[in-house]
Structure 1
């Protein structure tokens, strides 16, 4: 009888519990995704770090996943949007280097500092709006702060209007869910491709000072450098990667700090910095739990198991951030003074996140400004009652209910 693979829970109800269970089975074990698709979950920090730099590992389904190439993967597969793209995050070898050189110009340290004033402006605008909330009222800080700040910034960077951003955000939210139906999967694919096609058409007619206009210019000057699909899919990758991960980072960081006030006090007293907070949150609560997909270009011997050529891999960031081989018995403890906060949440090797510098800057500005404006910020419900997102791809919460100011017992009870 064929051995049954563990089914990766699409509802994301216990990401860390499942990660622990998979890690206990080995550095890489087969799991089943929606649609019956089998992949290798890579659960070890050391093995993941090695594979992320291994030339025998690809992110290109169209070149290295036989099931996709041969049409065995349905066009309405629940995760089709994650593998059907043709951009810097799903290319391999020379194609990847070509796209990364081209796109990397938009994510230099100089560019990061140039957009800092806009980050401060957006942050101040959102905090001003929160300041108008009546005392004692419960606020969903994910909806009112964590969600719009990175979303508006990335929309600015690619030249997308606020109206288009809001509409596209709904598609991104659905794409993040791993409980969607095949029909919804097709709706997601059509939705984001239509939105990006509309943006490209607009920017061709009315170019501006934005990444989309820059990429169009590069594409139209020399069509061999950037295909039309690469252009569209790359713009979407920037939108998705730059917003969804940072949204969930803010949610997770705020939750950890509010549920560990002694750690927050270390920052307020100057005994630790926001960089310590950022690295520890990324280690303990990686905003990406499991990232689809990579593929074995040839057989890869990991010692305890061999991944056959053509098999897909899923790097389990939720598992590797809490690997006891690296972080010992305190692996599940939120400790911003931890000397070794080693994490791979920005990736590693050729696909290291191009926007990592911007993400850290946005996180620093956003968190420091939030806690300076609202020093008495507190959770409005026990942390155990905050519901997780319905996905195994991202790690985060559906909402983040808080009190912005101190609440006396009578108001708290009424709230």
Structure 2
């Protein structure tokens, strides 16, 4: 954080495409102009994005940067309508919008479900689910002229099933929860749809919580309800529902994109897959390189400076909504050298990235996501060593969001 050479860098704002699309060409162009850029959010809301690796690392851990919506100037001034597609990211009551003591309190209530010991205990279950899903993927391909959507039949049901099992959510609700959560993270959605999706998601989770209150089990929702009922100072009803919203979305959307992007990368770079098969890299290296090279999250909302703040020479005014540009930071040449845009699994796990966050808000579920993705990739390419994309990469339809970074479907031939 140094002396400003220009407010907002003197650069015209980059208009973020609500329909998403591949972010990397824009990221490279913007990064060449500086580590911080002004952006125009849906509805003409002005914001900023921090794109450079070192600038982003410093910004997300800066003591004068907050997550609480009360610091969002445009929201406080009434300029953010209820149907704004990013409103839930700002206003949901949970860990991602809490600061300091509130953040520590909410995080501590959930953290026991994600300890290293608890994650390791889940390994046999993840392996069993993976084997069953591979059978289903094979069956889908046999019924589809040899082609199956790997995202739908494999990358999605693994993390969704695991997080729902942790929460205690029955399988019958899982498809609807995924549909609603994908609507919440979409940035091209209309205001009526946004409001309807948020209300239905909150209503469904409230009903599930009520069922657990009546018949508690050995699951995370029951544990959170117990914390709520033991005293409002530990967790109130709004925080309970907000925490469930965050756990459902973050608990599967990121890993879904991670597995999908890793398979795409390996299919497009067979020499990198050969490195793994010949022992020059491990499956965990594939996961880390995918997280860096094609982050599951492109621009994550929001953080707010609580005072005017200078980041890499650019002034970010107090109360500005700031996006964390994870996909840009992952290919920053200043951090990863002139070949930063090359997918290379031999970089090793010593190469640090920011795709799972940094500082107090580092992703609580990172160990689970890493384990799920590592096991999923190893099992997939062991079972189907000749797996290949069924259509050219350029023909894949991108995710309709500048928050999530992936494709809507991944048709593959299993070989």
Q: 1:343 aligned to 2:357? A: no
CA contact (8 A) 1:138 1:403 kept: yes
- Deviation of 1:346 after TM superposition, in Å, equals 0.7
- Deviation of 1:303 after TM superposition, in Å, equals 4.4
Aligned residues: 403
Give the alignment of 1:202-351 within 5 angstroms. 202-339=211-348, 341-351=351-361
CA contact (8 A) 1:86 1:230 kept: yes
Among 377, 387, 411, which residue is 2:387 paired with?
A: 377
- Deviation of 1:6 after TM superposition, in Å, equals 2.0
Partner of 1:413: none
Q: 1:391 aligned to 2:401? A: yes
Q: 1:100 aligned to 2:107? A: yes
Corresponding residue SS for 1:367: helix
Deviations 1:43-95 (A, max 9, x none): 1100100011111111111x211221232211111211111101011101111
Deviations 1:199-228 (A, max 9, x none): 110110111111111111111112211111
Runs of 4+ in 1 over 4 A off after TM superposition: none
CA contact (8 A) 1:81 1:185 kept: no
Q: 1:400 aligned to 2:410? A: yes
CA contact (8 A) 2:35 2:312 kept: no
- Deviation of 1:177 after TM superposition, in Å, equals 1.6
CA contact (8 A) 1:79 1:185 kept: no
Query: 1:99 & 1:173 partners in 2: Cα distance?
Result: 24
Partner of 2:86: 79
Corresponding residue SS for 1:329: coil
Corresponding residue SS for 2:95: coil
Corresponding residue SS for 1:169: helix
Query: 1:161 & 1:248 partners in 2: Cα distance?
Result: 23
| Structure-2 change in CA distance of 1:146 and 1:303 (3 Å) | closer
- Deviation of 1:3 after TM superposition, in Å, equals 7.8
Query: 1:375 & 1:5 partners in 2: Cα distance?
Result: 45
Deviations 1:106-153 (A, max 9, x none): 110111012112211211111122233429511111111011111111
Q: 1:15 aligned to 2:23? A: yes
Partner of 1:353: 363
Partner of 1:24: 32
Among 150, 153, 167, which residue is 1:158 paired with?
A: 167
> What runs of 5+ residues in structure 1 fail to find an aligned partner?
406-415
Corresponding residue SS for 1:315: strand
Deviations 1:23-62 (A, max 9, x none): 223221211011111111111100100011111111111x
Corresponding residue SS for 2:406: coil
- Deviation of 1:308 after TM superposition, in Å, equals 1.3
Corresponding residue SS for 1:217: helix
Q: Quick check: 22-31 or 269-278, which moved more?
A: 22-31
- Deviation of 1:323 after TM superposition, in Å, equals 0.4
TM-score (norm 1): 0.94
Partner of 1:58: 66
Corresponding residue SS for 1:89: helix
CA contact (8 A) 1:30 1:41 kept: yes
CA contact (8 A) 1:35 1:78 kept: no
Corresponding residue SS for 2:376: helix
- Deviation of 1:295 after TM superposition, in Å, equals 0.5
Corresponding residue SS for 2:336: helix
Q: 1:181 aligned to 2:190? A: yes
| Structure-2 change in CA distance of 1:268 and 1:231 (3 Å) | same
Query: 1:188 & 1:79 partners in 2: Cα distance?
Result: 13
Corresponding residue SS for 2:96: coil
> What runs of 5+ residues in structure 2 fail to find an aligned partner?
1-9
Query: 1:310 & 1:286 partners in 2: Cα distance?
Result: 27
Q: 1:68 aligned to 2:75? A: yes
Cα RMSD of the aligned pairs, angstroms, is 1.5
